[in-house]
Every structure is written in C-alpha cells, then in structure tokens.
Amino acid sequence: MFPKTELTRTPAGFDNLRVFDPRREAQTFGLHDADRRRGGCQILLASGSVQFLETPLWSSISKLSFKPKHVLINRAALTEEDSFVTLHNFGNAICPYRIWNAKVFRMAFEELGYSLVDVWAAPEFSCYIPFHANKGIRPFSGLYFRDQR
C-alpha cells in the first residue's frame, strides 16, 4: 500500500503536503507557498522518494499556487520500458514501488512548464526484481528541471 498524500491549504495560505503512512502518524511538510513575496519555494528536492508516492510528484506540484522554480530529483527508478509497479522489500515490511517510464516522467514535468536541464546516473542505487531480472533498474537516475515560466 502506497502512503497516501493530500495537498491542503491552511487558513494562513500555506500549501501543505500531508503524507499518511499506515505505519506512522501523518506527517505534514510545508511547501512554503504562503511566502508570496518570493513566489513560493524556489527548490524542491526529492531524493529516493518518487517511486514510493501513490500520487505522482508532478501531479502534486500542479496543484500548488506557486510552483518551485527548480525541481531536483535524485535516485529515481526510471526505465525505457513501460511503467509498472512492483514490491519493495525493506526486510521487515513490503510496500508498492513504482518504476516510471523515463520519457513519460520527463514529459509530465515538461507539460507543467519545466525544461530538463540535466540528467545523471545514480549508480549506487539499483533495483533487482526476483523472477523478472530483465525488469531490474541499474543505475537509478537523477534529473534537474527548471520552470520556464
């Protein structure tokens, strides 16, 4: 089961991303949307997390009043094949794990007005899928997007 996410607006005008993990209490991450003098947060960093989100990161970003100028994504499980979901074994827990098609992933950010500035390999991370060795991901990827608006 993916952790559930919910984007909410506080009375003071803050956008908050709440992450509901069935094993823990809900955690709230402020996206600093209320600071309108600076136009919201400037940098969003997601490292090793996009494959665990039920709602795609670009979908959450699209709902923000002020989108971050820079989006840095590191340790993303991307493939040239079709997107799919597998299971990630933490040892004492197992959860869904989404592998994104690299082109679909990039195009989703481009549709929001971002351009791809840089791509890199994260060779320290890989994904082995038992009984489906051809579906494994090695290495993971990093991407830097800049808002062109």
Confidence of residue 41 (pLDDT cuts 50, 70, 90): confident
Task: For 9-39, write each residue's pLDDT tens digit.
Answer: 555 455 555 555 555 554 445 544 444 444 5
Q: Residue 117 has which token pair?
A: 């500035």
- Per DSSP (E only), the strands in 60-130 are 70-76, 78-79, 84-89, 94-101, 114-122
Domain ranges of the chain: 37-147
What is the pLDDT, as a whole number, of residue 2?
53
Residue in the block written with tokens 């060779």: 123
Task: For 84-117, write each residue's pLDDT tens digit.
Answer: 998 888 788 888 989 999 999 999 999 999 999 9
88 vs 105: CA distance, rounded Å:
20
DSSP 8-state class, residue 137: B
Architecture of domain 37-147: 3-Layer(aba) Sandwich (3.40)
pTM score, whole prediction: 0.72
